[in-house]
Structure 1
Amino acid sequence: MKAVNVSRTGAIALALFMALPAWSHGDGEETKVAAAGEQKAWGIPGSTKGARTIEVRMGDDMRFRPHRIEVRQGETIRFVVRNRGKVLHEMVVGTPQELREHAALMKKFPKMEHDEPYMTHVKPGRKGSIAWNFNRAGEFQFACLIPGHFDAGMTGTIVVAPAKP
């Protein structure tokens, strides 16, 4: 059996990581779309073409409006997320457990940068968007994971009804 060169393996892994689709950690003005993305419990990245648009507003009262969103399995939604507050907010879609875990990690590492196709960071007075295909039925959440915001109740619910037979 041949020994693996860790430095070479690390370089290859880094090159593969750098080749993945990337989204800026900027002001969220663009819609994040990936041609093919990782399957999550709540779906996969979607295309804005043919997507239904839902506007989500957020503010310094630590609330999303609407706080409950209903979609049908297989539907692609383009969330247009508007920050009406004076501080940075974000919208991250996921399972309740994953959002709790991510929020706890953000408390430990508040300067940690994170950016995935199921989230958008929005500066005050600006907007961002997410295109997501909800290809699995269930109840999911969205939240702002900036330290203190999640704990203040900045969460919402997405109910994905099963597709009609």
Structure 2
Amino acid sequence: MKKMISIIAFTTLPAFAMAGSGHTDTHHGNAVNAKGHHDHATSSMNHAEEGSHKADAGKPGDPEKVTRTIEVSMEDSMRFAPGNMTFDAGETVRFIVRNNGKITHEMVIGSVDELREHADMMRTMPTMKHTESNMISLDSGKQGELIWQFSQPGTFDFACLVPGHLEAGMTGKIAVNRVSSH
């Protein structure tokens, strides 16, 4: 019996070691796994609960409730097309995002301050991969989608946070209009 318990303990130790291999990035409170990938999955919910700007910009959209589809291209000229968009509060938008460039680009929705703060973090962790619902990262020639519901009126931003891209001007603006009650 002792031998069997020892065998079980030794076979499960690697699993516990793997599970504990991530650490918390104290700057953002987000987990970073052993490969250096930044796991935003839980931080998104934490930010929304704390009332951050991301919550102001909206929330993950329900694919069944998409009211509009917008195609966005990302270019090596460090530009998005379109670079400015306007929606109504409450709209759920499917962004079909395509990287037409030869290098990796991403689209991240948030406030200017959040985007700059996150871009600073990206410079210290350049291999970080995003998994949060307000962002998509695409390799050259790839396409993906981001579904987002704009909850309230305001002006929000989007940017590519690959190191150097935000600084090169790879940003855009989103205006969310109040829906009239008429």
Q: Do they superpose with TM above 0.5?
A: yes
Paired position in structure 1 for 2:156: 140
Consecutive unaligned residues in structure 2, runs of 5 or more: 1-19, 24-36, 38-44, 49-54
Aligned residues: 133
Paired position in structure 2 for 1:114: 130
Paired position in structure 2 for 1:65: 81
Say if 2:71 and 2:97, in contact at 8 Å, map to a contact too. Answer: yes
Report deviation, 1:112.
2.4
After TM superposition, list the pairs within 5 Å mapping 1:65-84 onto structure 2: 65-84=81-100
Q: 1:126 aligns with which of 136, 142, 148?
A: 142
Task: Mark the structure with the bigger radius of gyration.
Answer: 2
1:48 aligns with 2:63: yes
Paired position in structure 2 for 1:31: none
Bigger fraction of residues in helix: 2
Consecutive unaligned residues in structure 1, runs of 5 or more: 1-10, 15-24, 26-36
Q: Structure 2: which amino acid aligns with 1:54?
A: I
Report deviation, 1:164.
1.5
Report deviation, 1:126.
1.1
- TM-score for the superposition, normalised by structure 2: 0.69
Say if 2:129 and 2:137, in contact at 8 Å, map to a contact too. Answer: no
Q: Distance in 2 between matches of 1:53 and 1:114?
A: 22
Q: Distance in 2 between matches of 1:74 and 1:128?
A: 23
Q: Structure 2: which amino acid aligns with 1:45?
A: P
Which structure has the higher relative contact order (CA within 8 Å, separation 6+)? 1
Q: Structure 2: which amino acid aligns with 1:42?
A: A
1:157 aligns with 2:173: yes
Q: Distance in 1 between matches of 2:159 and 2:131?
A: 14
Q: Structure 1: which amino acid aligns with 2:93?
A: I
After TM superposition, list the pairs within 5 Å mapping 1:79-118 onto structure 2: 79-118=95-134
Q: Distance in 2 between matches of 1:48 and 1:164?
A: 25
Report deviation, 1:108.
1.7
Q: Distance in 2 between matches of 1:111 and 1:125?
A: 19
Report deviation, 1:69.
0.4
Q: Structure 2: which amino acid aligns with 1:128?
A: G
Report deviation, 1:125.
0.8
Q: Distance in 2 between matches of 1:71 and 1:98?
A: 21
- TM-score for the superposition, normalised by structure 1: 0.75
Report deviation, 1:48.
1.9
Residue identity over aligned pairs, in percent, reads 47
